[in-house]
Structure 1
């Protein structure tokens, strides 16, 4: 039986704006903490579906997605978010898999099978360039996350560059750890260990953070915790103050 995450109902399409939804998935254990998971679904102009950080597949969400359109693209946005990519590719063999830098190496170290069709770069491919901007957030040799901006809805799509855990939806004992890591709502940001990996290349991190701000997002969605339904640009300035200086 799936343990509560605080973001129920799970495996359900939740509208963000026209042609963009989130799907909250089950929690996964990381550093001993239950991390709630979240997928973003975009319906492209041609009707195909673009799935960012796919959550554990479930019959309920598979049926709902079938009502929306054909799944065309499966996105593994960083080296920590590829776990279910192979399962989705098995279910939808015609879908194209796209992986961020570091994913292949990480999968190899974990001896986890991974089918890769394409590698994500700092420019969006023709498949979605007319609708979604993208870049690789620079400055870390370890964490090279692909970030996306859905232009029509002005929604920035991140994964771990901001984590924003709500105390009421996490174990009580975790509150001091979350605060120490810098990922406790309402002041969520990249966790301290991730920020540390940017220490030698702060200029690159700053340039990347400024590029995110230049998109002027109204919303910011991330994989873990409360996402920002409005005031996205202000939340970015707050969360990336460690990079902006």
Structure 2
């Protein structure tokens, strides 16, 4: 009986040890049942040690070794607490792992639903990545991605590639344009390159023609910065640049920007490789300040077959609807009456602004997009327009017509009106173009020489007023008709038979197409006056150049008069010396007989 009790106690202790080993190894064993009264419990047969399965945690081996050292000792209180803590920690880790997995799964499902719906997030197209933080005086974005839009202007001949320049913090975007022309050789002529993103290069290579020439038509940094990277994508292409390249505040050569020109653009250059197909007129005005290298050069091109005029910043055309390349989220963001719109509110009081403003997000509609585009255009053109809260009137004054932007007119062209007029006349006098492709805003613009001249009416007016242009000829009256005719027929034949009066306006070009509101021009005028007061720019570089030329001519005339006087004096002295020499020789000669003198 005592032997049976000892065997039963040994079995119970063995069962407890098995439970401990299983708990430490992470396995669950069935609870051992106490032996029935009167039963016999056999000792377990000896089994060879089991090798741990491949990939199992090494901790199990350590637990087994620990168990073997404990032998048949009973669990102490400390061991029981340690066992409970380990079990609790394992259970907590399992719950945490399951919670993290659930969260990740939920996030993946939410992201998938958002991508499928297209409202929560927008999947970024590939090939648009381009990192660039550049521009003076403002850092021009986009900083990380640039969408490229290609449009065909002339079938199989001319294309435009459009991206955007942006002040992303204010949701202000404006188009920037590269023009590509296929030459008779089959190669491509690239005007004013944009950022060479993978998408842009792919769209260009789809034209299935090699890039032969890359042209930088201006000094402007926002166009110059992409020429180097673009030319590296087409190493066989030759690069030509406008003269007088400069940068501020450090005047760096083109090579610093990765530009290695094969030549410099010159007006009507017969040696230009594309001279038979594309003409060019270089605008090199006098320096308007800082130093002689600071010249606002620009080159205009004329594609003869399509009668297309290409310019950079000379003129712009603002459409009523936003261009396709402008991102819709930015249009809708600036369309709401945000803090900037409420601040630039046309002088309204805080109560008046509160009654008008709607700062909540706007729904996507044509009206909302137009309002956002109007605010963008006014900020780009004026820097600080007078009224962003209600921009309709200011936008109506500039949209739907070809004109010179107020920044270019006020800060640049007003300092060189005569040079501007001469360049415009050179363009319009020789090229009969039918459309204009600027580098910003809308293109192409249906316009000819008359509309292009009218865009520069302010320059004609200023140059005439300051005596830099000859006076206009008076219009000739129509010739009288020999016979009286009915009214409408007489008027028609009178117009055909006589010279038509010159159009109203300066220089005979007609009135200026845009009169900029004073409230919108306040910021630009203040900036211009400050630059003039500091002496940073000249008030009129053409007048200064004319004065210097007159002074030089006067000095030359004076020097010529002095030279003529000295020459006359020299001739008089020579004649006097000759006369004196003749008299002395006659006195020294012996007297001759009369007969001999007569014979001579």
TM-score range, shorter chain: 0.7 to 0.9
2:228 aligns to what SS in structure 1? helix
1:2-47 Cα distance to aligned partner (Å, 9 max, x none):
7xx9xxx9534312114111111132449x8533110100111101
Give the 3 Å change call, closer, same or farther, for CA 240–65 of structure 1 in structure 2.
same
**Residue number in structure 1 paired with 2:307:** 154
1:15 corresponds to 2:152: yes
1:189 corresponds to 2:342: no
> Residues 52 and 75 of structure 1 are in contact (CA less than 8 Å); yes or no, is this contact kept in structure 2?
yes
> Residues 143 and 194 of structure 1 are in contact (CA less than 8 Å); yes or no, is this contact kept in structure 2?
no
> Residues 136 and 145 of structure 1 are in contact (CA less than 8 Å); yes or no, is this contact kept in structure 2?
yes
> Residues 320 and 400 of structure 2 are in contact (CA less than 8 Å); yes or no, is this contact kept in structure 1?
no
1:28-76 Cα distance to aligned partner (Å, 9 max, x none):
449x853311010011110111100111113233233224310011111
Matches of 1:187 and 1:143 in 2, distance apart? 24
**Residue number in structure 2 paired with 1:71:** 211
> Residues 174 and 377 of structure 2 are in contact (CA less than 8 Å); yes or no, is this contact kept in structure 1?
no
**Cα distance, 1:240 vs structure 2:** 1.8
Of residues 169-178 and 81-90 in structure 1, the stretch that sits farther from structure 2 once superposed is 169-178
Q: Which runs of 5+ in 1 are unaligned?
A: none
Q: Which runs of 5+ in 2 are unaligned?
A: 1-123, 129-141, 288-294, 323-372, 386-393, 462-600
2:257 aligns to what SS in structure 1? coil
Give the 3 Å change call, closer, same or farther, for CA 174–152 of structure 1 in structure 2.
closer
> Residues 174 and 376 of structure 2 are in contact (CA less than 8 Å); yes or no, is this contact kept in structure 1?
no
Give the 3 Å change call, closer, same or farther, for CA 66–224 of structure 1 in structure 2.
same
1:213 corresponds to 2:428: yes
1:98 aligns to what SS in structure 2? strand
Q: Which has the higher helix share?
A: 2
**Cα distance, 1:87 vs structure 2:** 0.7
Moved >4 Å (runs of 4+): 179-183
**Cα distance, 1:156 vs structure 2:** 0.1
1:128 aligns to what SS in structure 2? coil
Matches of 1:176 and 1:222 in 2, distance apart? 19
Matches of 1:11 and 1:173 in 2, distance apart? 19
Q: Which of 231, 237, 240 pairs up with 2:453?
A: 237
When the two structures are superposed, what TM-score results if normalisation uses the length of structure 2? Answer: 0.36
> Residues 178 and 184 of structure 1 are in contact (CA less than 8 Å); yes or no, is this contact kept in structure 2?
no
**Residue number in structure 2 paired with 1:106:** 247
1:90-125 Cα distance to aligned partner (Å, 9 max, x none):
11111111111233x228646634322221111244
Name which structure has the greater RCO, CA cutoff 8 Å, separation 6+: 1
Matches of 1:84 and 1:24 in 2, distance apart? 14
The RMSD of aligned alpha carbons is: 3.1
1:118-169 Cα distance to aligned partner (Å, 9 max, x none):
2111124431000000011243532110110000000000010013344653
Matches of 2:276 and 2:265 in 1, distance apart? 16
2:425 aligns to what SS in structure 1? helix
Give the 3 Å change call, closer, same or farther, for CA 140–153 of structure 1 in structure 2.
farther
1:134 corresponds to 2:287: no
Matches of 1:21 and 1:60 in 2, distance apart? 15
The alignment covers a number of residue pairs equal to 238
When the two structures are superposed, what TM-score results if normalisation uses the length of structure 1? Answer: 0.82
Give the 3 Å change call, closer, same or farther, for CA 168–78 of structure 1 in structure 2.
same
Give the 3 Å change call, closer, same or farther, for CA 193–166 of structure 1 in structure 2.
same
Higher-Rg structure is: 2
